Amino acid sequence: MRLEEKIKKLIDGQAFASITRHVRSLFHRLFFPSPIKPKRIIASIEGHNRFHEICDRYGMEDPGEGPPKFLNLKRWIRRNAKRVRELRLDDQKRQRVLDLGCGPGYFLYICRCLGHDVLGIDIDEVPMYGELTQLLEVPRVIWRIEPFVPLPDLGQFDVITSFLTCFNEPIGPGLWGIAEWDFFLEDIRRHVLPNGRLWFELNRQSDGQPYSPALKRFFESRGARIDLYRVMFTSDRVARSSA
Ligand SMILES: C[S@@+](CC[C@H](N)C(=O)[O-])C[C@H]1O[C@@H](n2cnc3c(N)ncnc32)[C@H](O)[C@@H]1O
């Protein structure tokens, strides 16, 4: 994390919540080691010839920030294992998990290995994602999330996630604003089971921030817990504010 962000965290008072979260997680891990073994997960993917064919077809020496970066399993399986642990999906009974913009499907693959019931939503613009999700047997619905358009009827979920969220970046008039998020959150409520959770990890924008101050205030008014780029809701708090 950059020094600037650390200072900002201190200034806006998020430091305490963040430290508490990390300490709690550390203690939890000390007494309840995670069943996720990234090396084994990586081996289970590398064991497929098809994975190597995909690497031959799409891999490049320096993929930069393009989709082939996801072929670096060491980096992305570790990162997704961390996501699963942070959501405590490694020590919970079977959950229904929906991931919006699931990309290569690693997060859902780990969830599935843990016994959860998983589904991804994605557009079908990057053939490599289709091939990887197929290889990993991660079920995926092809659907473009658009402003002011309800999500398809896919049932209800205990956990709805979106990592490195891109659906709020339509080509055209810029990022989603408050009206778009308000519609989206109002709609998504019907897909969250009682005691369910929403967990978004927003991308940094050109100014280095994941959201404008107004959007942050809006998320908070809807009951979000915010930790830097993470915006998290529980099912009872995603409701439209009474104001
Ligand atoms: C940067 S990738 C992140 C992949 C994955 N979530 C991860 O973090 O490993 C963004 C994903 O969002 C998907 N995406 C972009 N715009 C979308 C939209 N409007 N609706 C659904 N998915 C979208 C892309 O196809 C891609 O899979």
Q: Where are the domains of the chain?
A: 1-33
What is the 125 CA–ligand 1 centroid distance (Å)? 10
In this structure, which residue's CA is closest to atom 18 in ligand 1? 167
21-32 per-position pLDDT tens digit: 667 667 766 776
Closest of 238, 237, 213, 216 to residue 227, by C-alpha: 216
206 pLDDT band, cuts 50/70/90, is: confident
**How far does the chain reach from its first CA to its final CA, in angstroms?**
36
How are beta strands 192-202 and 230-234 bridged, if at all? antiparallel
What is the 166 CA–ligand 1 centroid distance (Å)? 5
Catalogue the E-assigned strands of the chain.
Answer: 96-100, 117-122, 140-142, 157-165, 192-202, 225-227, 230-234
Calculate mean pLDDT across residues 119-140. 98
Does residue 10 carry a pLDDT above 60? no
At a CB cut-off of 8 Å and minimum separation 6, what does 206 contact?
none
Closest of 132, 129, 192, 195 to residue 166, by C-alpha: 129
Whether the full predicted model's pTM is greater than 0.85, yes or no, is: yes
